């Protein structure tokens, strides 16, 4: 087992990985930018080192500085979490050259699966169903249009490198095709430095389902069942759950899982990874891509399987073999994850920047919160605005949803605007409750959502927030902003009472 591991990430995933290290008795090393100097996950670490600057390029993407810190502090391994350097084969190679273990798959596996074109070829060779389409490498827009003439519109153009919706265009008719190809190639070049595109059949009513896999360095590859991640805004997931509502029979589940394991074995995959599929309403499924890292939504799989994926990533990186077999694993109950973002759903989801004056996480049976914030944390414009993940488990989907509603209602974040009201609106919506959650769900069911006007409790909360920000009095005397933030209005006895009459 490693003695010391450096966590090359920030926020809730840094905290999650620090806890995984502590579970194994490993010294956890945090690195932090100037903007994150006072973050709670930094204090949680056993050792901490500054990355001067605030931009991602200067800090959490600065490979040389991170490796220098790892060697200087004696860290035997680096865990990249997700995002940043997690799927960067060059960084994994640089780690090996410095004698530091990269906790993740091999650079070769990452490189193969990082190319949508190459991974599509490998999937087809491994017998995994793929979406009908054409690789556009070396083809002009006109040649490509001829090559896809056998595919019915709509058609999807997407960048071979990268993701997140960049370099992606949906084409509804032949008249739009050439312009869309040129636009997609230009955006792909600007975003990823590579204008390689793929053209595929676009399905208008699909579900996004992914299979979690776990492989060791001894050739063992298992699946940890599926997650459905169809609730997406601008191609970004916001609610995930397992088991997937769209999978209504075990035969489809087993065929998808077998395909995912087959693909992982084809590239000699070790560590945690996720094979993503699209599933149509008739039960057909097609390979989409493979994420060669720990996923944001891994906690829901942990809750239904009892497997600590983050811990096993570390164990696998030391060379340990998986001690359980596929027959030892089963899904128990239902789990849901909601991502809480600092953004304003009422104003086109603009990021909300500022200081979190009050933060209280929910608690109770079947509730888990992965976060990297506390009261007083500054939300900066430099990084992803996700604040926390609220995860619930129940014996049934209905029970898990009920717990999630209560958990989100208990979550208090004052100082920045969050998407919690929007998440609650989804959880209450009848179509979601029935499990009909295609990737078109949000535009179809909440296209122009706006928060409800404040009720009496809401106005009371606003008044308390104003008091905390410096607009109130303590014992009848005006107080400064600094004093009011430290001041607890619920303990006040001189002016008002904190009870309803």
How sure is the predictor about 484, in pLDDT bands with cuts at 50, 70 and 90?
A: very low
pLDDT at 204: 83
Residue 233 appears among annotated catalytic residues: no
pTM: 0.86
Residue-averaged pLDDT of the chain: 91
Determine contact, residues 259/187, Cβ cutoff 8 Å. no
Condensed to tens digits (0 to 9), the pLDDT of residues 168-218 reads 899 999 999 999 999 999 998 888 888 999 999 988 889 999 999 999 999
- Can you tell me which residue has the tokens 């209280």? 360
pLDDT at 491: 44
Catalytic annotation, pick one of 293, 339, 368, 397: 293
Which residue ranges make up each domain of the chain?
Answer: 4-103, 115-130+204-332, 132-201, 336-445, 456-491
Cβ count within 10 A of residue 178: 15
The CATH number of 336-445 is: 3.30.470.20
Condensed to tens digits (0 to 9), the pLDDT of residues 259-309 reads 999 999 999 999 999 999 999 878 899 999 999 999 999 999 999 999 999
Q: What is the mean pLDDT of residues 320-346?
A: 97
Condensed to tens digits (0 to 9), the pLDDT of residues 437-463 reads 999 999 999 998 998 887 777 677 767
- Give the single-character DSSP code of 471: I
Q: What is the mean pLDDT of residues 125-133?
A: 93
Class (C level, CATH) for 4-103: alpha beta
How sure is the predictor about 465, in pLDDT bands with cuts at 50, 70 and 90?
A: low
Q: Which residues, other chains included, contact 361 with Cβ-Cβ below 8 Å and sequence gap of 6+? A: 369, 371, 388, 411
Is 50 exceeded by the pLDDT of residue 488?
Answer: no
Pick the CATH number of 132-201 from 1.20.1440.130, 3.30.1490.20, 3.40.50.10140, 3.30.365.10: 3.30.1490.20
Phi-psi region of 104 (alpha: psi -120 to 50; beta: other; left: phi over 0): left
115-130+204-332 against 336-445: fold identical = yes
Determine contact, residues 7/81, Cβ cutoff 8 Å. yes
- Fold for the domain defined by 115-130+204-332: D-amino Acid Aminotransferase; Chain A, domain 1 (3.30.470)
Dist CA 240 CA 426 (whole Å): 12
Condensed to tens digits (0 to 9), the pLDDT of residues 67-109 reads 999 999 999 999 999 999 999 999 999 999 999 999 999 999 9
Is 80 exceeded by the pLDDT of residue 428?
Answer: yes
Token pair listed for 256: 């998808």
Token pair listed for 46: 């056993």
How sure is the predictor about 165, in pLDDT bands with cuts at 50, 70 and 90?
A: confident
Cβ count within 10 A of residue 103: 29
Answer with the residue of higher pLDDT: 365 or 492: 365
């Amino acid at each position: 087992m490693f003695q010391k591991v450096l966590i090359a990430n920030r926020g809730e995933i840094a905290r999650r990985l620090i806890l995984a290290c502590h579970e194994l008795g490993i010294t956890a090393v945090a690195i932090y930018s100037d903007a994150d100097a006072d973050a709670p996950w930094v204090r949680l670490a056993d050792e901490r080192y500054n990355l001067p600057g605030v931009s991602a390029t200067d800090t959490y993407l600065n490979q040389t500085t991170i490796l220098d810190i790892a060697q200087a502090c004696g860290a035997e391994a680096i865990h990249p979490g997700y995002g940043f350097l997690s799927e960067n084969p060059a960084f994994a190679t640089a780690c090996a050259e410095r004698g530091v273990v990269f906790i993740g798959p091999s650079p070769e596996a990452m490189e193969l699966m990082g190319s949508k074109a190459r991974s599509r070829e490998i999937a087809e060779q491994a017998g995994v169903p793929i979406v009908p389409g054409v690789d556009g490498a070396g083809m002009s827009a006109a040649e490509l249009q001829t090559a896809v003439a056998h595919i019915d519109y709509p058609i999807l153009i997407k960048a071979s490198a990268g993701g997140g919706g960049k370099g992606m265009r949906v084409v509804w008719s032949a008249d739009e095709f050439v312009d869309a190809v040129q636009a997609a190639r230009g955006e792909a070049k600007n975003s990823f430095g590579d204008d390689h595109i793929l053209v595929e059949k676009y399905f208008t009513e699909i579900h996004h389902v992914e299979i979690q896999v776990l492989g060791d360095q001894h050739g063992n590859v298992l699946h940890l069942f599926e997650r459905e991640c169809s609730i997406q805004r601008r191609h970004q997931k916001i609610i995930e759950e397992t088991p997937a509502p769209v999978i209504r029979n075990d035969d489809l589940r087993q065929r998808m899982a077998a395909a995912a394991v087959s693909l992982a074995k084809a590239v000699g995959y070790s560590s945690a990874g996720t094979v993503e599929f699209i599933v149509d309403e008739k039960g057909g499924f097609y390979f989409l891509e493979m994420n060669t890292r720990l996923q944001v939504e891994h906690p829901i799989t942990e809750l239904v399987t009892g497997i600590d994926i983050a811990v096993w990533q570390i164990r696998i990186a030391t060379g340990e073999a998986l001690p359980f077999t596929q027959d030892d694993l089963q899904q128990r109950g239902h789990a849901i994850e909601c991502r809480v973002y600092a953004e304003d759903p009422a104003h086109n989801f603009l990021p909300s920047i500022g200081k979190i004056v009050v933060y209280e996480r929910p608690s109770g049976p079947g509730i888990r919160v992965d976060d990297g914030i506390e009261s007083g944390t500054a939300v900066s414009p430099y990084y992803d605005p996700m604040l926390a993940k609220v995860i619930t488990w129940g014996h049934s989907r209905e029970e898990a949803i009920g717990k999630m509603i209560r958990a989100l209602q208990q979550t208090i974040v004052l100082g920045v605007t969050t998407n919690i009201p929007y998440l609650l609106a989804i959880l209450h919506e009848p179509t979601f409750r029935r499990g009909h959650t295609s990737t078109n769900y949000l535009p179809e069911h909440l296209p122009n959502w706006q928060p409800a006007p404040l009720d009496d409790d809401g106005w009371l909360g606003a008044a308390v927030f104003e008091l905390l920000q410096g607009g109130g009095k303590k014992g009848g005397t005006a107080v400064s902003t600094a004093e009011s933030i430290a001041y607890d209005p619920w303990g006040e006895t001189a002016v008002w009472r904190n009870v309803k009459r």
